[in-house]
Amino acid sequence: MDMKLKLWSWAGGFSAETGLFVFLEMAAAVWVVGGVRDPTMGVDWRLLVVFMVSRVFVVVSVNKEEIEEIARGLELSNVNFIWVVNFSFDEKISGSDKILPEGYIERVKERGMIVAKWAPQAKILRHSNIGGFLNHCGSNSILESLYFGVPLIAMPVLVDQFIAARYMVELGVGLEVKREENGKVKAEEIAKAIKNLMVEKKGEELRDR
């Protein structure tokens, strides 16, 4: 059977909850996987990290406004990425809502992969192509980041996450996205943190620790 057909039978489908659909072209650099939450479905998640070298892995639960800022930040950074799109637990999203900015997937398809709601975090982090991990600095993410030796880009939300983020920065294993005085995070600061980790010498030093 043709591989595309296999992929369709494994992962194809429309998610009414998120409005995301599956992109199946083998040559495409962007995959949007809707509603895949069960790792036993047969999807070979290794495909997510073999297209290009040196990626940043993004896992954060955010609201629609912050998703737009992260999307712009990733685009501005011009860095390869895998992004697991998660909405905050208190936000209801209908299938008619646009998750990402119009035309975004097309613009970043040569260097970005976007996954809805779930991905095998540990399997992705252990891959040698992953050069950075943007997350909220929750305890599980910190432990996995340290275990697999992947530097953090911290975007904390809760009080304990802010404390943990400061420790990670002080230990020299991560960077923190700077927020505005009103607590909001902007695309430009996200892009700056990503580029500092993935492109600048500072990132090399963190990965060498």
Mean pLDDT of 44-70: 66
187 — pLDDT class (breaks 50, 70, 90): very high
146: CATH: 3.40.50.2000
pTM: 0.69
Each residue's pLDDT tens digit, 188-199? 999 999 998 888
Tally the domains of the chain: 1
Higher pLDDT residue, 115 or 170? Answer: 170
User: Which positions ≥6 away from 185 have C-beta within 8 Å?
Assistant: 66, 69, 155, 177, 179
Each residue's pLDDT tens digit, 141-169? 888 888 988 888 998 888 888 999 999 99
Rounding to the nearest 10 degrees, give the CA dihedral for residues 149, 72, 60, 152.
20
Contacts 24+ apart (CB under 8 A), 3-12: 7/43, 10/41, 10/42, 10/43, 11/36, 11/41, 11/43
Mean pLDDT of 176-204: 87
Q: What is the pLDDT of residue 177?
A: 92
Each residue's pLDDT tens digit, 7-47? 222 233 333 343 333 333 322 223 333 333 344 444 455 55
Tokens 């909405």 -> residue: 87
Each residue's pLDDT tens digit, 78-134? 888 888 876 554 444 443 346 788 888 888 888 888 777 677 788 888 887 788 888
Helix (H) or strand (E) holding 81: strand 80-87
Domain region containing 140: 3-208
* Separation between Cα atoms, residue 89 and residue 124, nearest integer Å: 24
Q: What is the pLDDT of residue 16?
A: 39
